[in-house]
Amino acid sequence: MEIIEGGICAPLGFTASGVHCGIRKNKSKEDLALVLADCECSAAAVYTTNKVKGAPILVTKEHLKDGKARAIICNSGNANTCNADGAEKAERMCELTASYTGVDKEDVIVASTGVIGQILPIEPIEKGMKSLAGQLSVQGASSAARAIMTTDTVEKQFAREEIIGGKIVRMGAMAKGSGMIHPNMATLLCFVTTDAAISPAMLDKALHAAVADTLNMVSIDGDTSTNDMLTIMASGKSGMKEIDGEGEEYDIFLNLLIAVLTDVSRAIAKDGEGATRLLECRVSGAPDIPTAKKIAKSVVCSSLLKAAISAADANWGRVLCAIGYTDADFDIDKIDVDLSSVEGSIAVCRKGAGVPFDEDRAKKILTPDEVTVKVNCNLGKGCATAWGCDLTCDYVKINADYRT
């Protein structure tokens, strides 16, 4: 499996663009993105489990009922949520996309991100569509990735390729997400494209399976967004035979999707609002996989541990505390904990109890921008990995004046 360039435009059959249309006051920031497929695609999606859902989600759900799509339109700066005219505005974005690209408006995925509860002005989008459609190209992935950013500090776009059925299959993704990240399906906004040939039913199956081990294992701050959406479109342009059931080719496709979404997950966690460190928790030896996942998520969600990681403080008791309130049955007296990074690894707990360790060495290990908490339950074969970040004063500053 190779890492390649091109982001969401790496697969055959896709172009993208991003422009500043005027939703954001800062004219240097793109705020409207478009992705277009040159043929009808199999499509699938997962959405937020928040009871409050942005209007774009409701519209996209209707449009994807037939498992087909050809375009994505997304704005940043305004979430189009909790507004009486939200659905009308979301549908209008689809109509504009159809008008400027020639696709059916029912084949358009629509998304929005930004401030909740403010009316989305449609006029800037109407004025920006000509330029947006006119700039569509296979080189447009970066401008599209920038256009969906909110408090993100870096673009999040990835691409990989793999041989499936004797053909080179490419998969690309762009995502946004830095705060309000705590998934129960996917989190953030993430759009995936591939030139694999796969039926809508199997694409949906693969997407839900991949999310369970990737985006569902990320947490920044415990808040689940109202606009979370992950979509995938498959053009079939690779020339491979369509995947219409389980088997070797489906398994390879699933692994490719997991790899791309793992890239996304790590990037989201590392770019958490105010974060200085990626926090990874690897659990092994759990009684089963569900228990391993619960433990891993509990550790990366601990505000106390996240604060300690910010200071490179090896306060391992906070790891045990987070493991201890995990909603699962296991013997805490068998737990081992190690802290590691590129600087090495150090044991801090064995059989549920602390062991002597060098504080200075531990601090050195926790200083790099990626640190790992390794938890061995010594109870079985269940394994899981979760991703989060440290908690800093900047997180509060960013969210205290988010609207202003």
172 with 294, same domain: the answer is no
Count of CB atoms within 10 A of residue 155's CB? 19
185 pLDDT above the threshold of 60 = no
Residue 401's pLDDT is 77
Q: What digits encode the pLDDT tens for the residues 336-359?
A: 999 999 999 999 999 999 999 999
- The fraction of the chain above a pLDDT of 70, given in percent, is 96
The overall average pLDDT reported for the chain is 93
Residue 147's pLDDT is 97
Average pLDDT value for residue range 6-24: 97
Give the CATH number, domain containing residue 264: 3.60.70.12
Q: What digits encode the pLDDT tens for the residues 140-177?
A: 999 999 999 988 889 999 999 999 999 999 999 999 97
Active-site annotation holds for 187: yes
Nearest-angstrom CA–CA distance, 367 and 182: 25
342 with 197, same domain: the answer is no
Give the CATH number, domain containing residue 300: 3.10.20.340
168 with 191, same domain: the answer is yes
33 pLDDT above the threshold of 80 = yes
**Which one of 270, 290, 309 terminates a domain?**
270
Q: Token digits for 294?
A: 């619960």
Residue 183 or 366, more confident: 366
378 pLDDT above the threshold of 60 = yes
**Which one of 240, 270, 300 terminates a domain?**
270
327 with 206, same domain: the answer is no
Average pLDDT value for residue range 231-256: 98
Nearest-angstrom CA–CA distance, 382 and 57: 34
Domain that holds residue 8: 2-270
Average pLDDT value for residue range 256-275: 92
CB 328 within 8 A of CB 294: yes
372 pLDDT above the threshold of 80 = yes
- The b-or-e profile of 57-92 (16+ CB within 10 A means b, else e) is bebbeebbeeebbbbbbbbbbbbbbebeebbebbbb
Average pLDDT value for residue range 297-304: 94
Residue 113 or 227, more confident: 113
248 with 336, same domain: the answer is no
Residue 227 or 367, more confident: 367
**Which one of 270, 298, 315 terminates a domain?**
270
229 with 204, same domain: the answer is yes
Count of CB atoms within 10 A of residue 255's CB? 15
What confidence category does residue 404 fall into, taking pLDDT thresholds of 50, 70 and 90? low
CB 56 within 8 A of CB 111: yes
Residue 223's pLDDT is 65
Average pLDDT value for residue range 106-123: 94
β-pairing, 189-194 vs 229-234, is parallel
The one catalytic residue among 60, 187, 193, 214: 187
Nearest-angstrom CA–CA distance, 295 and 286: 9
55 with 157, same domain: the answer is yes
70 with 196, same domain: the answer is yes
Which residues share a beta bridge with 344?
341
CB 323 within 8 A of CB 299: yes
- The b-or-e profile of 330-351 (16+ CB within 10 A means b, else e) is beeeebbbbbbbebeebbbbee
Nearest CA to 182 out of 153, 216, 226 is that of 216
183 pLDDT above the threshold of 70 = no
CA 152 to chain centre: 12
**Number of compact structural domains in the chain:** 2
Q: What digits encode the pLDDT tens for the residues 315-331?
A: 999 999 999 999 999 99
181 with 264, same domain: the answer is yes
Nearest-angstrom CA–CA distance, 301 and 298: 5
Nearest-angstrom CA–CA distance, 104 and 69: 9
CB 215 within 8 A of CB 183: yes
248 with 286, same domain: the answer is no
What confidence category does residue 286 fall into, taking pLDDT thresholds of 50, 70 and 90? very high
325 with 264, same domain: the answer is no
CB 20 within 8 A of CB 28: yes
Nearest CA to 332 out of 348, 351, 349 is that of 351
Residue spans of beta strands (DSSP E) within 27-103: 32-47, 68-78
Write the single-letter amino acid at 319.
Answer: V
CA 397 to chain centre: 23
Residue 176 or 282, more confident: 282
How many Å from the N-terminal Cα to the C-terminal Cα in the chain? 44
224 pLDDT above the threshold of 70 = no
Q: What digits encode the pLDDT tens for the residues 66-87?
A: 999 999 999 999 999 999 999 9
Predicted model pTM = 0.91
Q: What digits encode the pLDDT tens for the residues 36-69?
A: 999 999 999 999 878 888 899 999 999 999 999 9
205 with 285, same domain: the answer is no
